[in-house]
Structure 1
């Protein structure tokens, strides 16, 4: 399967830009792939976390056996708990499932049965939904803390676990990241995500790693000081 060109999409809380496609954009993309008969892999690990995202693109073709194949992939490790290495694949009605099962078996004989059983039980009993509500609430509070501390205009989803901060053209993002790392802060430069030689001047800041809001605030205040200091013009002493 997927022996032809295909389109790879992350439509909800995109990593790293945090962009989320509206319903109109998803419908427009589906019309294009229908016209050109292009296969799609819709990687959607944050859809459950977003809460307000439009339905997946794959949902537009679930009732059709002749539409373009949209393979929908999601996971619980990104939105519920990092240790839950449990993912889901929705195969479009137009595609046979046997080749996909063969491919999965070539990578792993089977998922961890205890983990899958536990997750299934949590979903059926409603525990997973309640934990998701709490995680979404916590993520929203972390985003508010970041917005109140960081300079500039961070780009973020209200319930995302990271944000995207565009930097002033005057800033050397590599020097900034080095300074942040020296103070125990982990931020990621835009070139890590960009396949081209020139990348936008921006950094990705993860908000979910700090164990509590107090330590997140301390870390963000350190980063804000670094950003503000780096943006100030350097004073050069005159040599007489």
Structure 2
């Protein structure tokens, strides 16, 4: 296989192909599969061997294999290497093939933790009656799973009443249920001027109006929120107070208290989306602590363990309200998967979840330092404990963020335009960059260098300048 790849590589080089080297590696693999020369299960040469044969650096070859994997051409397994997956589909993959380009994906744990995750799953299915996990269950989770949800919630909250806890199939589904419940008699939801795009999609699907609140460096302005409470029919305040997606802002206590005071005086329910709160080491009192009688606190496992673990925990404002949400969610989802719930509980109980969280937090800090160094000439907002950053484009270039994002994605870099998050039709010239999509630190560094080059040398990318 090494000789076949080298031969095709030198053939392309003789034609003076202008493609970047890492894309050319993926192209060569695709050509070999389409021609029938490379067959399913053919093992690819080790990265270092191929780099030496092609006179390329290790990072470039690593990125070439990553691009081939993204296209669905190859598979990689720890300890087994990389091998040909099969023939390239005639149509581009449409379901999740480029998720890392648009989703805020956490950093994957290393091989040691992958082994611990696997052992936890094996232990679960060895000890648990598997048939019990294939049956219908009451919505909100089994008592044992709720007990573990309580353990996870109490890492950020004071002691929690388990009767106020629901387990749902992900934060997104919890938000669907909450907006259905809180807005069924009409009314708008107050939000920041930049928010999680999933909430925009949910509101659009449910025909719910989002009232955008102007923000300063501390978050939504309390006076603007109070004005909406006085003049509009407001059903809820949605807030993502910790490591906000996309701006990375964590609301200081004084702003949380001011917004909580307004919500309390006007009896406005608060949807507190704390998808990233577990990543923080410093505790700031939550809305659920400030106004527990009005706050729906939501956290989950997808951003602090892995996006495939679609499990979220909701702490409601009292037992009765929690039961009302359970009814709405039961109609929408029937129940969360008992198997997924049991896996989450197993990993929380045996400590694997804490270890994965620590790993993500530590690697995020390293990658944020890389970003701060490589993007030093530019204006960015970030937190050392988060795995995304908010990059403000140089004003003098007058670039359209959407076009810059497209160009960066063509170059293999995760980037999302500010328009995806905007709620006031006035998106800033900014991009959200995810540091978790790159599966290695070396690729993350190379992606950041690509961003820096695009911004520093716009003359090479004139097609994206307005």
TM-score, structure 2 as length reference:
0.47
Q: What are the residue-to-residue correspondences of 1:88-237 with 2, within 5 Å?
A: 88-93=313-318, 95-150=320-375, 151-171=377-397, 172=399, 173-230=401-458
**1:97 Cα deviation from its structure 2 partner:** 2.6
| Aligned partner of 2:297 among 72, 78, 101 | 72
In the alignment, the residues of structure 1 paired with residue 393 and residue 459 of structure 2 have an alpha-carbon distance, to the nearest angstrom, of 9
**Gapped runs of 5+ residues in structure 2?**
1-180, 188-234
Q: Is the 8 A contact 1:16 1:204 kept in 2?
A: yes
In the alignment, the residues of structure 2 paired with residue 231 and residue 115 of structure 1 have an alpha-carbon distance, to the nearest angstrom, of 50
| Aligned partner of 2:259 among 1, 9, 29 | 29
**1:210 Cα deviation from its structure 2 partner:** 0.4
In the alignment, the residues of structure 2 paired with residue 132 and residue 10 of structure 1 have an alpha-carbon distance, to the nearest angstrom, of 19
Structure 1 residues 198 and 37, CA gap change in structure 2 (3 angstroms) = same
Q: Is the 8 A contact 1:176 1:230 kept in 2?
A: no
1:129-173 Cα shifts (integer Å, max 9, x gaps): 122111100111111111110131310011111000111223313
Helix, strand or coil at the partner of 1:219 = helix
**1:184 Cα deviation from its structure 2 partner:** 2.0
1:2-30 Cα shifts (integer Å, max 9, x gaps): 24611000000111111001222222221
**Gapped runs of 5+ residues in structure 1?**
235-240
> In the alignment, what sits opposite 2:282?
52
In the alignment, the residues of structure 2 paired with residue 88 and residue 231 of structure 1 have an alpha-carbon distance, to the nearest angstrom, of 49
Instruction: Flag as ranges the 4+ runs of structure 1 deviating above 6 A.
Output: none
In the alignment, the residues of structure 2 paired with residue 97 and residue 178 of structure 1 have an alpha-carbon distance, to the nearest angstrom, of 42
In the alignment, the residues of structure 2 paired with residue 125 and residue 182 of structure 1 have an alpha-carbon distance, to the nearest angstrom, of 42
1:116-137 Cα shifts (integer Å, max 9, x gaps): 1121122123221122111100
> In the alignment, what sits opposite 1:2?
182
1:20-45 Cα shifts (integer Å, max 9, x gaps): 01222222221121111111111110
> In the alignment, what sits opposite 1:237?
none
In the alignment, the residues of structure 2 paired with residue 101 and residue 174 of structure 1 have an alpha-carbon distance, to the nearest angstrom, of 39
Q: Is the 8 A contact 1:168 1:231 kept in 2?
A: no
In the alignment, the residues of structure 2 paired with residue 26 and residue 126 of structure 1 have an alpha-carbon distance, to the nearest angstrom, of 31
Q: Is the 8 A contact 1:13 1:20 kept in 2?
A: yes
**1:95 Cα deviation from its structure 2 partner:** 4.4
TM-score, structure 1 as length reference:
0.88
Structure 1 residues 197 and 23, CA gap change in structure 2 (3 angstroms) = closer
Q: Is the 8 A contact 1:22 1:53 kept in 2?
A: no
Q: Is the 8 A contact 2:402 2:419 kept in 1?
A: no
> In the alignment, what sits opposite 2:191?
none
Q: Is the 8 A contact 2:379 2:393 kept in 1?
A: no
In the alignment, the residues of structure 2 paired with residue 29 and residue 231 of structure 1 have an alpha-carbon distance, to the nearest angstrom, of 45
TM-align CA RMSD:
1.9
Structure 1 residues 75 and 231, CA gap change in structure 2 (3 angstroms) = farther
In the alignment, the residues of structure 2 paired with residue 202 and residue 85 of structure 1 have an alpha-carbon distance, to the nearest angstrom, of 29
In the alignment, the residues of structure 2 paired with residue 144 and residue 70 of structure 1 have an alpha-carbon distance, to the nearest angstrom, of 35
In the alignment, the residues of structure 1 paired with residue 319 and residue 283 of structure 2 have an alpha-carbon distance, to the nearest angstrom, of 25
Q: Is the 8 A contact 1:91 1:97 kept in 2?
A: yes
In the alignment, the residues of structure 2 paired with residue 20 and residue 170 of structure 1 have an alpha-carbon distance, to the nearest angstrom, of 29
